[in-house]
Structure 1
């Protein structure tokens, strides 16, 4: 792949600037460049070139210091994000430096960030599900938050558009609460998952167990290789088998010749021009030289990830917007959401000792939402609903065995018993009081104000969590699994790494920040199409919806530019 053009000219006015290069930023860059716009992408961290810079992709534990465990110095560098349990020697370089980029937890909140080309698209779980009409109508139906200015029909064709390019493997179900995608062949359930599926669907009519729908290629697509079942995805995939900005959208943007990619660019603010009533460009700090630089553009896409986008908008003050760009409604920074996580049940599975699975499938099972989808499933305990992810697997025998010497070596090479687990992801309601705001007392390495995060789960989320554990235990026990143990690893928001809201879309400028095409109501040439734009958060993984919203918004931006409306 040819190298990216990084020679950004401060004196040049670009057609478009994209802030951030993660899942939504990569799509914005691709769409704008392919439609002929000279586009500058600003990234806070370094370039990570596909394949070339996946330095741990082929390492085994014994190839790494401490067999992949991180050092005390690295633990200090990631003193907040280490709580996630995801950071090791193999991935540490893809997580932001918490010492250089602090934030304040007014209430406990885990904020995971990836400051490099591709952002968290190098780290995400790849679970990709369409939202349904039920999701887009939820706020209007129960009165929480504000009504979405769009419905499923507005995104349906855009879902298909991005799915065909990204590559989504899965199987159709025909469920109204989980619309089918444009699918590549699904990955295969293992023998235990097939058995659990049969028993679950027999004993719990209306509940379904399917293989996860994931952005993993099960057959080659557009020059990318198919998944090799290595399950080393978070190190970067040299085959391009899973969707990332680095492997898919940014190379497509680069191929047009219209892309300029500028790394080490700390976006300080978006500049506003009083005379035109538009944004005029972006002000950055060079992360390596500390120089202040300004870039001009006709259109700006803010895709720095939910909280970073909001931080930039809050810091973009002017006479017109003393409380942050587009904050006429006072809703900027409010209505923060994340999915609840790490609640469910685990069990042992008898039999199948003569069966195993091939490779390390980077995917699990999914049980779609079954509460509050119609009158028959309506609950009086909580609003909205949840889905389950999980899977069947065989562990090892290394611990707690009596053998030693040659007998121990023989025993440790044998697989342990089959186990099965499910964990729920539940929807969080959009509460105005769950918020972020600028903290001028705590600054980052570059002297910029940081965020204070004041967010918590409330009564409805706790009720959902209680139901998740009860349902998980009931299902595993009733279908005949053994030693069923329910769990609730009580945690603060942020662990789902699905933060959404804080610059929501809406119909009324008095109660929202963005309109139906992701434009700031009062600054029409600024678009926000990452997680900040979300008006509610469903119970399914959101990244596919970010992709669809971004492609749709980019198309609208280009059409409006042609009409000279921007």
Structure 2
């Protein structure tokens, strides 16, 4: 019976036994490892990728553009070996070593889905955009109010102290803006905005009721903290930051976990399935495939945190079958793999701001102005869609085109910036649809002989209508602000390309319609917790990562208390 070796008194089982196993070392997995280690548990952190040590393994962090053979452009070989990853703007010559090889890790796209994946310890915490905004009760209550999806089992008040807890450690810069639909957090001073952005902030807030343009909140330090320096505004975060100035597992949570003496990290460990004891009705451990030797090995623990990322976590549960769970561990509700969501993006509205020729700016800030949701909040209702979206707004002075110039004239022209350009870019919410889902295709196998993951996901009428409204409202704000030469470049993104995949193992109040309870604990298997994006019951319009962190810290606290009570 799977997992029985846990109860055989032999040295191999002893060596491979821990208090807790965390599957995946990205943003949420790193937090789980830190929290559980600091609470005194011996923790095994598993990741399918190679190890990456902070500073030591950022080989391109201080290189100049001219030091790269292809000046940051992808080679034909990279495009061929990474046909999915190269769909995304972030995959470049200077950070390609962090990404997964698509040819060696195939999946089935029943409809196009851009599954953007790291293949290193730290995961996409090395690559994320770092925008950090709390959800409000507009987000946690939306399913209940408009009838799409099921009700969240928590509200903002349940998560608020945990937001504060993780924000203080993570280091998030931004303002306290006093907006009811964008709760304030624990922030360091914000990055300053420039003259063009100050003008746009004034125009938007003066001319539109309930529209606000606030300083962006980002997990980049404006003040140093223990072991980490402040952001140098180099715009090279995607290479790994030797200053530790942006939050990543590698710079933050793994060092904290190691400091306890309780952490073991095992890279090259692809989790094949979670082991389940039919008699005890608990998980006993995991089976991994060593990606270097291709050998399987089992590890055991009292509790398991599944944080492999939304799609991979669903796939692991679907692969973890037993007599009780023939369609996947903890899947009595048939919700594992369903309700896959991602934000939709693709709106870019750019216009010229006249004046301010005597103004410029310094550095390459990691933040922008942020315009939080205004549609379907207060009195700003949209007739043809529910939920809403946000904008990032930037004002810059690009170089002049210097068309037709050569030699000294060209060099001289390039030393002068052109007129101010303002850009609106938007992210919108995707509703939870039961047939946007992850399954296993048993007719195709991966490099390890397992069924390939199959993804069937698309945006629907609500998202398409919202996308169209994002364009019109951006144009409206540009025109009202006196901008000229308004240009629209808008094509709705493919699911996955916003890198905010959520759903598939959702939280809920009823075990018949959800997989997890209010503490991210499986209804069916009490010692398994899931706190990555797969746990989300709706997608919101807001970047989700700091919510993953808060949910993880909260779930770890609950799990350890339950262990102490002998309930797990």
Alignment of 1:168-207 (within 5 A): 168-207=172-211
What is the aligned partner in structure 2 of residue 66 from structure 1? Answer: 70
Aligned to 1:346, the other structure's residue is in SS state strand
Post-superposition CA distance 1:137-179 (Å, at most 9, x none): 0101011111101111110100000001101111111111110
Aligned to 1:18, the other structure's residue is in SS state strand
What is the aligned partner in structure 1 of residue 507 from structure 2? Answer: 505
Aligned match of 2:527 in 508, 511, 525? 525
What is the aligned partner in structure 2 of residue 328 from structure 1? Answer: 332
Aligned to 2:66, the other structure's residue is in SS state helix
Structure 1 residue runs of 5 or longer lacking an equivalent are 1-7
Alignment of 1:111-130 (within 5 A): 111-130=115-134
The alpha-carbon deviation at position 108 of structure 1 amounts to: 1.3
Contact 1:344 1:473 in 2 (8 A): no
Task: Give me the CA root mean square deviation.
Answer: 1.2
Alignment partners' CA distance in 2, 1:438 and 1:326: 16
The alpha-carbon deviation at position 443 of structure 1 amounts to: 2.3
The alpha-carbon deviation at position 486 of structure 1 amounts to: 2.3
What is the aligned partner in structure 1 of residue 425 from structure 2? Answer: 423
The alpha-carbon deviation at position 433 of structure 1 amounts to: 1.0
What is the aligned partner in structure 2 of residue 312 from structure 1? Answer: 316
Alignment of 1:295-306 (within 5 A): 295-306=299-310
The alpha-carbon deviation at position 10 of structure 1 amounts to: 7.0
Aligned match of 1:256 in 251, 255, 260? 260
Alignment partners' CA distance in 2, 1:166 and 1:244: 9
What is the aligned partner in structure 1 of residue 557 from structure 2? Answer: 555
Contact 1:311 1:450 in 2 (8 A): no
Aligned to 2:22, the other structure's residue is in SS state strand
What is the aligned partner in structure 2 of residue 348 from structure 1? Answer: 352
Alignment TM-score, normalising by the size of structure 2? 0.96
Aligned match of 2:396 in 393, 404, 407? 393
Structure 2 residue runs of 5 or longer lacking an equivalent are 1-11
Aligned to 1:445, the other structure's residue is in SS state coil
Post-superposition CA distance 1:468-502 (Å, at most 9, x none): 00000011011101101123123321111100000
Aligned match of 2:217 in 202, 208, 213? 213
Aligned to 2:70, the other structure's residue is in SS state helix
Aligned to 1:270, the other structure's residue is in SS state strand
What is the aligned partner in structure 1 of residue 59 from structure 2? Answer: 55
What is the aligned partner in structure 2 of residue 544 from structure 1? Answer: 546
Contact 1:472 1:486 in 2 (8 A): no
Greater CA deviation, 545-554 or 423-432? Answer: 423-432
Aligned to 1:328, the other structure's residue is in SS state coil
Aligned to 1:329, the other structure's residue is in SS state coil
Alignment partners' CA distance in 2, 1:455 and 1:207: 32
Aligned to 2:178, the other structure's residue is in SS state coil
What is the aligned partner in structure 2 of residue 441 from structure 1? Answer: 443
Alignment partners' CA distance in 2, 1:168 and 1:201: 24
Contact 1:10 1:295 in 2 (8 A): no
Alignment partners' CA distance in 2, 1:491 and 1:229: 28
Post-superposition CA distance 1:212-244 (Å, at most 9, x none): 110111101123100111010000011111000
What is the aligned partner in structure 1 of residue 491 from structure 2? Answer: 489
Post-superposition CA distance 1:513-564 (Å, at most 9, x none): 1111101101010000000000001100000000000000001110000011
Aligned to 1:124, the other structure's residue is in SS state coil
Aligned to 2:351, the other structure's residue is in SS state strand
Aligned match of 1:19 in 11, 23, 44? 23
1:411 aligned onto 2:410: no
Contact 2:402 2:410 in 1 (8 A): no
Change (3 A) 1:471 1:10: farther
Change (3 A) 1:9 1:275: closer
The alpha-carbon deviation at position 344 of structure 1 amounts to: 3.7
The alpha-carbon deviation at position 400 of structure 1 amounts to: 5.4
What is the aligned partner in structure 2 of residue 4 from structure 1? Answer: none
Alignment partners' CA distance in 2, 1:423 and 1:442: 38
Contact 1:10 1:294 in 2 (8 A): no
Aligned to 2:489, the other structure's residue is in SS state strand
The alpha-carbon deviation at position 303 of structure 1 amounts to: 0.3
Change (3 A) 1:406 1:111: same
The alpha-carbon deviation at position 9 of structure 1 amounts to: 7.8
